[in-house]
Structure 1
Amino acid sequence: MPPLLVCLLLVLLLAVPRPSVAARPGAKPLLFSLRARQVPAGALPRPPSKLRFHHNVSLTVSLAVGTPPQNVTMVLDTGSELSWLLCAPGHQGSAAAAGAARDALFRPRASATCATVPCGSAQCHSRDLPVPSSCDGASRQCRVSLSYADGSTSDGALAIDVFAVGDAPPLRSAFGCMSTAYDSSPDAVATAGLLGMNRGALSFVSQARTRRFSYCISDRDDAGVLLLGHSDLLFLPLNYTPMYQPTLPLPYFDRVAYSVQLLGISVGGKTLPIPASVLAPDHTGAGHTMVDSGTQFTFLLGDAYSALKAEFLKQTRPLLPALNDPSFAFQEAFDTCFRVPAGRPPPSARLPAVTLLFKGAEMVVSGDRLLYKVPGERRGGDGVWCLTFGNADMVPITAYVIGHHHQMNVWVEYDLERGRVGLAPVKCDVASERLGLML
């Protein structure tokens, strides 16, 4: 899960005994405000909910929680289930998080509709939680604990409050009211929560009963867009690849992730000699491929990464001097690195594109998305730039993970109804304009 994820915070939306707002006949589209405006009448045949998000090291969206509503900023994470908020001191304990601003915290005592979730609640015993919940013996409150592959952690109690969703009646929802959070990233962003968007029973997607959502991650900070609900975007020629789901439960397969089947990888048009068995899940479920907006870069398992590294170094030898420092690995997983004179960009337009091949679809990584400048790293008069594909074995991660950096300027649609993921290259600012969003 998220390698550069900042103050991880999570919101659990509880199931409510009514159809989702997006599913109600004649319901108005849900509008989440992040410098967004109402879609003009007739701009879309069935305008879904839309939410603009910020792209930095994390993708963030804005929501309103509580009574009176408090605006919170949350990381959008398709690789997580449990949504959570970092709560201010005085309710669930002493809140602390690296880089968390005081005004970024949720204040449960200031909300007239906030209540704790008891240990006996069904929400406290979801089988989809990565770590089983516990019970506080004194208060009988349900406690949750979360940890991520990058070393980030969060602990707290389950609570219930209302989430404002456009003009619809507020959703009474459960969330993790986290008392402590530690983020291992040095690039912390002042966010107040994490919005879990996978297929688990307690995710935002499941609790809001959203059967389709999509987004476009821009290479500009504020030109991204998130659509909740169904929409036929005729100007986007989406290619679909089926979600992969084994017939039997496997110990290392994340059954609530958005898993697809990776069939091959090419560099500069040359297909890498990677056996099909290396790209497919093994008998334990390890080796599946996840599309994850909560991870910044993309991770490949060791054998596939080694093949990519060798071919990329070979094809870029005339263009870029390799770093040739076996002791250096950016974020402990990115060791295909180069020296670039300080103050100059790398020759991005001349670099060989890396293409991820799926059944029915592909994702092309090219240009500026191939290399990332390592902050503060210098070799004489040169800066250090690394390939944005990491070695999952070095983290370690037991899966292929496609991060949001490689989803930039790609429209990504998650169609749960038909069990598929759609991909289409598009400039996000252009797509936003077509959808009627003010940039």
Structure 2
Amino acid sequence: MSSVNNLLLIICLTFIFSPCISAASDSKGFSTNLIHIHSPSSPYKNVKAESLAEDTALKSTLSRHAYMRARQQKALQPADFVPPPLIPQEIMFLANLSIGNPPTNVYVILDTGSDLFWIQCEPCDVCYKQKDPIYDRTKSDSYTEMACDASLCLSLGSDAQCSDPAQRFCVYKYSYEDGTRTSGLLSYDDVAFTSHYSNEDKTAQVGFGCGLQNLNTLTGFRDGGVLGLGPGQVSLVSQLPAIGKVSKSFAYCFGNFSNPNAGGFLVFGDDTYLKGDITPMVIDEFYYINLLGIGLGIGEPRLDINSSSFERKPDGSGGVVIDSGTTLSAFVPEVYEVVRNAVVDKLQKGYNIRPLRSYPDCFRGKIGRDLKFFPIMELYLESTGILNDKWSIFRQRYRNAFCLGFTSGDGLNIIGNLAQQSYKFGFNLEQSTLSIESMPNCRPSSAFSN
């Protein structure tokens, strides 16, 4: 297995920062559009398709799964164990933000599995090439470094390593075994959002990681950075409520992955309008939900899966996580086998389609042409559910071949973003609930209506 799949992080974490946010007092929330990676307006629109053997989505899902299990198991490790953050490597939607004054556009990955918002910054000692211009901190009138005596920086105690009087600013440094790394200054600057409630631009001065030494040896897209949406203190999810009138909530919607013109959105605070069916959510290092079962075909009995396969264990392991940074869904082996067998059985009996000999989770054909009226897969949640059509059950891999949109992973179930497309997911961190609303076109006009 390549080093991409086995990133082991040697991490030196010397930062944390406190929110320093300002906005108009009548703000109802903050939002930004999501751009399909192959959209005409995307800087990555001309990226070439992979061969069938180069399955980046599967590789990144397995790497992501391993990372999330490591985060889960931190409670079982020595006190100094720090599990490695892992940047999503295969994405279909990017958030387009502007930062600084005057503003610079940046494209970032949404990641509910981490907390830090970081981007590459000029002038830098080492920056990897990215499609869009790199943010230059020296040209922003609103940029400031974060002092070591900032309250949240000090709140980490020895982890912040700011006790040396000669060290004026919080810094961060991540070093990966394969050579990928990012390090720099924890800083503040203005980030611009658009309020769909008032149709006005809003700015918030937020803390972020300003990457001055960055080396990206990973395959895939060279993005400007990562927008962490985890529940931690450094996440914008926690920073933005400091404005006062913005609730501790956020929502996102991914459009149809197979349509380059499909859009999406990300919203924070009161603009979220948490409509739809509500299901309980447990907030820990990730966002956990209660998956009760899986069915294939509306009105059909649920598949024969032991409900304990979805439950979180007393030691904190297991369970079901909803994650924006994982492409495919990952089920524990006993769940994966049942679901895969049911899907393959439908393909063979209803469509005379069989697995490829060299790629048992892939099949000859085209989803749109060959899988008409394929049964809906339902993920049964507490009080609601998620309906996955053929575009979420499968993914068109290469020309005349498609593959399953889920895989197997020990010890943890993950609902990936392929299974989330065409739904609005609203995370209410104050009430620990997740709202789920079907939204095929991810149209902001319907998302923000009262």
TM-score in same-fold range (> 0.5): yes
Higher helix share: 2
Q: 1:116 to 1:297 in 2, by over 3 A?
A: same
User: Counterparts of 1:233 and 1:203 in 2: how far apart (Å)?
Assistant: 20
**1:54 equivalent among 35, 49, 69:** 35
Aligned to 2:444: 432
Structure-2 change in CA distance of 1:192 and 1:419 (3 Å): same
**CA-to-partner distance for each residue in 1:312-362, whole Å, 9 max, x for gaps?**
11222121221133xx4xxxxxx522122xx78453333232211111111
1:263 corresponds to 2:292:
yes
Structure 1 residue aligned with 2:435 = 422
Q: How far does residue 104 in structure 1 lie from its aligned partner after superposition?
A: 3.1
3-state SS of paired residue (1:80): coil
Which of these residues, 228, 231, 246, is aligned with residue 268 of structure 2?
Answer: 228
Which amino acid letter does the alignment assign opposite residue 121 of structure 2? C
Are residues 1:282 and 2:313 paired? yes
Please show how residues 275-314 of structure 1 align to structure 2 within 5 Å.
Answer: 275-314=306-345
How many residues in Structure 1 have an aligned counterpart in Structure 2? 363
Deviation of the 1:136 alpha carbon: 12
2:188 corresponds in structure 1 to 161
Q: Tell me if structure 2 keeps the 8 A contact 1:73–1:104.
A: no
- Assess if the C-alpha contact under 8 Å between 2:34 and 2:95 holds in 1: yes
Q: Give the match for residue 217 of structure 1.
A: 254
1:380 alignment counterpart: none
Residue 377 (structure 2) aligns with: 354
Distance 1:293 1:104, change over 3 A: farther
Is the counterpart of residue 203 in structure 1 residue 243 in structure 2? no
The answer for the alignment partner of 1:250 in structure 2 is none
Query: Within 1, Cα distance between the matches of 2:307 and 2:227?
Result: 34
Per-residue deviation at 1:241? 0.7
Alpha-carbon deviation of 1:369? 2.0
Q: 1:171 Cα shift?
A: 3.4
Contact 1:299 1:400 in 2 (8 A): yes
In 2, the alpha carbon distance for the partners of 1:153 and 1:399 equals 26
CA RMSD of aligned residues (A): 3.6
Which residue does 2:425 correspond to in 1? 412
Q: Tell me, yes or no, if the aligned pair for 2:278 and 2:383 is still in contact at 8 Å.
A: yes
| CA apart distance, 1:119 | 5.0
Give the letter aligned to residue 208 of structure 2. Answer: F
Deviations 1:350-381 (A, max 9, x none): 323221111111111112222112247xxxxx
Q: TM-score, normalised by structure 2?
A: 0.70
Aligned partner letter, 2:138 = R
Partner SS, residue 226 of structure 2: strand
Partner Cα distance (1:304, 1:126) in 2? 42
Question: Counterpart in 1 of 2:114?
Answer: 80
> What secondary structure is seen at the aligned counterpart in 1 of 2:263?
coil
Decide whether aligned partners of structure 1 residues 299 and 70 sit closer, same or farther in structure 2, where only a CA change above 3 A counts. Answer: same
Greater shift after overlay, 162-171 or 208-217? 162-171
Q: What letter is aligned with 2:432?
A: G
Aligned residue identity for 1:228: F
Label 1:13 to 1:184 Cα distance change in 2 as closer, same or farther (>3 A): same
Structure 2 residue 141 is the aligned partner of structure 1 residue 109: no
Task: Map 1:2-151 to 2 at 5 A.
Answer: 14-16=18-20, 21=23, 24=25, 27-29=26-28, 48-56=29-37, 57-88=91-122, 90-91=123-124, 93-96=125-128, 100-101=130-131, 103-118=132-147, 121-124=150-153, 142-145=170-173
- In the alignment, the residues of structure 2 paired with residue 124 and residue 75 of structure 1 have an alpha-carbon distance, to the nearest angstrom, of 25
Q: Which moved more, 1:356-365 or 1:208-217?
A: 208-217
User: CA contact under 8 A between 1:354 and 1:365: conserved in structure 2?
Assistant: yes
Alpha-carbon separation, structure 2, partners of 1:76 and 1:405 = 14
CA distance in 2 between partners of 1:390 and 1:133 (Å)? 38
Q: Which residue identity is paired with 1:85?
A: I
Look up the SS of the partner of 2:372 in the other structure: helix
Alpha-carbon displacement from aligned partner over 1:47-66 (angstroms, at most 9, x marks no partner) = x4332211333322222222
Instruction: Tell me, yes or no, if the aligned pair for 1:12 and 1:174 is still in contact at 8 Å.
Output: no
User: Aligned partners of 1:384 and 1:152: how far apart in 2?
Assistant: 34
Identical-pair percentage: 23
What SS does the aligned partner of 2:418 have? helix
SS where residue 419 of structure 2 aligns?
helix
Residue pair 2:280, 2:434 contacting (<8 A) in 1 also: yes
Within-5 A mapping of 1:310-389: 310-318=341-349, 319=351, 320-325=353-358, 328=359, 336-340=361-365, 345-375=368-398, 383-389=400-406
If the length of structure 1 is used for normalisation, what is the TM-score? 0.72
> Which blocks of at least 5 consecutive residues in structure 1 are unaligned?
4-10, 30-47, 246-254, 329-334, 377-382
Measured in 2, the distance between the counterparts of 1:141 and 1:197 equals 24
The 3-state SS of whatever aligns with 1:368 is helix
Q: After TM superposition, give the deviation of residue 421 of structure 1 in Å.
A: 0.3
> Alpha carbons of 1:389 and 1:344: their partners in 2 closer, same or farther (altered >3 Å)?
closer
**Amino acid in structure 2 at the alignment position of 1:361:** T
Q: 1:305·1:391 contact (CA, 8 Å) conserved in 2?
A: yes
